[in-house]
């Protein structure tokens, strides 16, 4: 029962993330922002495994970025991520 529940929980979490393309990320300098995250593809970043090399709109520099669980952020970081979005793709 324990192993199946864990797999079900992980699958549900993946499906939750896979449905949305706007995701909160953190750059290698620690800045948080929202970006378009397309699973299996990228129009404005270089994909390197689970991370991407792309422009950080907060620090205005190029950096490695990774997905962040919004629940792990402080209220201030959540606010920053909600107000700062990188470029939109038309």
Once rounded to an integer, what is the mean pLDDT over residues 64-70? 95
Q: Which DSSP state fits 38?
A: -
Predicted confidence at residue 48, as pLDDT, reads 86
Query: Which is nearest to 50 in space by CA: 38, 66, 37, 35?
Result: 66
What is this structure's pTM?
Answer: 0.73
Within 13 A of 62's CA, how many CA atoms are on the CB side? 5
Query: Is pLDDT above 80 for 55?
Result: yes
Handedness of CA 65, 70, 72, 77 (dihedral sign): positive
Q: In what order do the strands lie in the sheet with 32-36?
A: 32-36, 22-27, 61-67, 51-56, 46-48
């Amino acid at each position: 029962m324990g192993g199946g529940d864990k797999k079900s929980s992980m699958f549900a979490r993946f499906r939750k993330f896979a449905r949305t393309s706007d995701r909160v990320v953190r750059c290698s300098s620690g800045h948080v922002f929202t970006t378009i995250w397309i699973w299996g593809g990228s129009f404005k970043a270089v994909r390197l495994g689970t991370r991407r090399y792309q422009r950080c709109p907060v620090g205005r520099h190029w950096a490695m970025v990774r997905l962040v669980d919004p629940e792990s952020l402080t209220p201030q970081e959540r606010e920053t991520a909600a107000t700062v979005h990188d470029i939109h793709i038309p």
